[in-house]
Structure 1
Amino acid sequence: MAELSDPVIFGILLTLLIALLAAGVWVALSLMIMAFVAIVAFSNAPAGLVLATTLWGHSHSWPLAALPLFILMGEILLRSRLSEDMFSGLAPWLTRLPGRLLHVNVLGCAIFAAVSGSSAATAATIGRMSVPELKERGYPESLILGTLAGSATLGFLIPPSIILIVYGVATEQSIARLFIAGVLPGIMLVCLFGGYVMVRAWMAPDTIPKEDDTMSLREKIAASRRLLPVMLLIVGVIGTIYTGVASPTDAAAVGVVLAAVLAVMTGSFGRKEFIEALMSATRTSCMIALILFGAGFLAIAMGFTGIPRNLATWIGTFDLSPHALLTVLTVFFVLLGCFLDGISVVVLTTSIILPIVQAVGIDPLWFGIFLVLVVEMSQITPPVGFNLFVIQGLTGIDILRVAKAALPFFLLLMLGLLLITVFPGIVTMLPDAMGN
């Protein structure tokens, strides 16, 4: 059976998958078909029974229950006045910083990312509020679009991150530890994005319009009160996970309740908006769950065929160092992200890539954050950069112009990737402090 583990067999299966995707077959169905063919052609396992037991086993996963809850929380907040409150609360404190109100995009996205878990929702919510306001005040279009596109990717990294839940379920990693691991890298990226805006403002100060800075300290503090509800929500969700009071799933349920209360308090959220949020969250959750079921079946199928194990052994014959392997994987994931959304990239690759990564001694927890950072890069990479599509829909601006504006932030994400590779403690310090 040695020939069944040959990398050529993997190439045949990969070609089948690419052909299915190119033909427009759903990602989840493409994964299931590939897995079914792998079991039937290259193993003696009963394919139908494996499919049934895998789908049943994945359908009642308790960690996976956090996924629809966090999606619902983000959908509720998307329909509230949260973005307007954040602009009013942040703006008074930023008028003296180089770059001024451009930092609203960076900080606003970071804050909303901490309560939504979605990159696209972050771009839509903050962009709907900030783009018209910053354009009217005369800020450069390239910086408005770039800061929004780049900072919105934080929705994938800063907990509660939907894609970290997907990775945790797919690889059987602790979701709580993954959430905590994303905190410091998220803060690092906020600093990199904010620092870039400052440098651009110092280089061309005439491009940044003047802002009224006549508010007293008391008035600024009063304006900041509008940030209190969302900060309470962040503490309620992330704080309960970090302290061990609640699991990610329990914290997600708390987050939904707090988000609903917060949205109702804004006076802009009623029965109609709740039904819209519920239906949108249901559609998104079903799509992601179906992809995860397909990925789970693929992972089991790959186990029966022995392909990942033997592929890892084959790659090991090249004697790649961990850094060389990560370089190759970065290029691979960025190219893959040019054509697939982030969640699909994760579920398509983890069952095959993870054994290879572990074989060279890379921590799966650290690799999860590494993978999310690369997926973030793909969110602002044409032709299928989801953040680019969202911003194009908001502004009507050509997607290539949006991509050009986002290019510096793509490079900053690459710098962030380099930093966590050179200093892995940025990822592992908080989870290690939290313990198991």
Structure 2
Amino acid sequence: MDATTFLVLISALLLLALALGLPVSFTLGGIAVLGVLYVWGVKGLFSIAQTAFDEGTNFILIAVPLFVFMANILRCSDLADDLYHLVYTWMGRVPGGLAAGTVVICAIFAAMAGISSVATVTMGLIALPSMLSRGYSKQLATGCVAAGGALGILIPPSVIMVIYGTMAEVSVGKLFMGGLLPGILLAAIFVAYSLLRCLKNPSLGPPVQERFSFAEKLRALKGILLPSLLIIVVLGVIYTGVATPTEAAAVGALGALVCAWVRRRLTWQNFNEALLSTLSITAMVMWIIFGAVAFTHVMAYAGATKVFQDAVLGFGVSKWWIFFGIQVCLFFLGMFLDPAGIIMLTTPILVPLVKTLGFDPVWFGVMFTINMEMAYVTPPFGFNLFIMKAVAPPEVTLDDIYKSILPFVGLQALCLLLCVVFPEIALFLPSLMK
């Protein structure tokens, strides 16, 4: 069987398995095993097992459970209560201020946690009922929480970036720094959108009536101290080159424990729940990685990756048409698959093509991540949309959530376009790293 036929057959099996709803990890691993048996026989199984084992012992992957544990500890530390009180006192009297402030809190949590679900769940339980009870539009309130929560994909430290960097063999530290300015830019776009809509139509986000003295506002600022310190330490040691992302993850996990202890929330029950949740999420991620590595191994050795690359380059179009074609394909995949699965499916095929086209691998990784952030909130199967439905009050329907997120998906696309037109947004900080 030639490489072209092998690629077509493997792709057909993959699409069929995904259409049947089979888990991505076992789909990739199962197809890899079938491919090895067909091409090399039973002796080839040892090769993919060894490859998967070698990848699983990659030092950088230790950052995954550490960042997830850090996020789970922060979730139970009640830092969000102080942050929301800060937003309420300082921004509550501005039309749309609570919505804009919710996005800011989500960005802060993104810079502490590494996964998007923490901010989405936390703000869905705290900010969403508060905004709805004060007359905020359901669509504006739910959209801000869902889209703001997804910032955890882009703003470092990001577990998705760790996975992408591992699969694409790109510096995770540079990916982290590359995602920082685009993440801040996207958060600023969300904030500006919320404020401008409410300034134009105050009924969408009426200002709160309660007044606070300047002394009360100053006291509320203490809520930002612990989060700021944790963010500065974790990102600072990566940026300055003092620590690798994995070592920074260990520092962050320890810092999260200290935060929970200072707030007297470090109970055995919370600690146990954080460990169990970390174990569950890490196991899921590692199984996906094992399956993807085996799949990549088979595709590469059978020559299928080279066939795909030659076919795309054979179109004879500009590299930018190919780039935007890739982004459109990733966007549509994001409607139906989770970001980790998309990374595992596409990275082995796309990264060699991107390098051949001459795109900066860090810049492309950031563009990929922005697209994966869109995947978290794109109907019909955006992960954050179902989290929102689970934590939202009963009067908020799934249809409300779907409608609420559409403007924010457009804003995410705008951010991606800005980073394409001005690549320095993503490349400035990585270029300064030691």
Q: TM-score range by the shorter chain?
A: over 0.9
- 2:200 maps to 203
- 2:249 maps to 252
1:408 aligns with 2:407: yes
Q: How does 1:72-91 map to 2 (within 5 A)?
A: 72-91=69-88
Shift of 1:45: 9.6
**CA contact 1:83–1:126 (8 Å) conserved in 2:** yes
TM-score by length of structure 1 reads 0.95
Q: Deviations over 1:258-278 (max 9, x none)?
A: 101111222233001100110
- 1:127 maps to 124
**CA contact 1:338–1:383 (8 Å) conserved in 2:** yes
Q: How does 1:358-373 map to 2 (within 5 A)?
A: 358-373=355-370
User: What are the ranges of 5 or more consecutive residues in structure 2 without an aligned counterpart?
Assistant: none
Residue of structure 2 aligned with 1:41, choices 38, 41, 64 = 38
Mapped to 2, the partners of 1:358 and 1:329 lie a distance apart of 14
1:93 aligns with 2:78: no
Shift of 1:367: 1.1
- 2:299 maps to 302
Shift of 1:120: 1.8
1:376 counterpart letter in structure 2 = E
Q: Deviations over 1:131-185 (max 9, x none)?
A: 1111112111111001111111101000000100000111111111110000000
Residue of structure 2 aligned with 1:266, choices 263, 267, 281 = 263
Shift of 1:211: 2.4
- 1:381 maps to 378
Q: How does 1:49-68 map to 2 (within 5 A)?
A: 49-68=46-65
Secondary structure in 1 matching 2:212: coil
**CA contact 1:99–1:197 (8 Å) conserved in 2:** yes
* Percent identity (aligned): 35
Q: How many residues are matched?
A: 432
- 2:143 maps to 146
Mapped to 1, the partners of 2:88 and 2:123 lie a distance apart of 13
Shift of 1:237: 0.9
Q: Deviations over 1:271-306 (max 9, x none)?
A: 011001100000000100110111111222222111
Mapped to 2, the partners of 1:210 and 1:199 lie a distance apart of 14
Mapped to 1, the partners of 2:223 and 2:108 lie a distance apart of 13
Secondary structure in 1 matching 2:378: coil
Mapped to 2, the partners of 1:323 and 1:401 lie a distance apart of 36
Shift of 1:9: 3.1
TM-score by length of structure 2 reads 0.96
1:421 aligns with 2:420: yes
Mapped to 2, the partners of 1:208 and 1:371 lie a distance apart of 33
**CA contact 2:70–2:252 (8 Å) conserved in 1:** yes
Shift of 1:4: 2.0
Residue of structure 1 aligned with 2:338, choices 335, 341, 345 = 341
**CA contact 1:5–1:311 (8 Å) conserved in 2:** no
Give me the CA root mean square deviation: 1.7
**CA contact 2:146–2:385 (8 Å) conserved in 1:** yes
1:10 aligns with 2:26: no
Mapped to 2, the partners of 1:367 and 1:185 lie a distance apart of 13
Q: Which moved more, 1:394-403 or 1:182-191?
A: 394-403
- 2:180 maps to 183
Shift of 1:347: 1.1
Mapped to 2, the partners of 1:185 and 1:99 lie a distance apart of 23
Shift of 1:13: 0.7
Shift of 1:320: 2.6
Mapped to 2, the partners of 1:426 and 1:234 lie a distance apart of 20
Shift of 1:44: 7.8
Mapped to 1, the partners of 2:85 and 2:79 lie a distance apart of 10
**CA contact 1:95–1:101 (8 Å) conserved in 2:** yes
Mapped to 2, the partners of 1:63 and 1:98 lie a distance apart of 44
1:217 aligns with 2:205: no
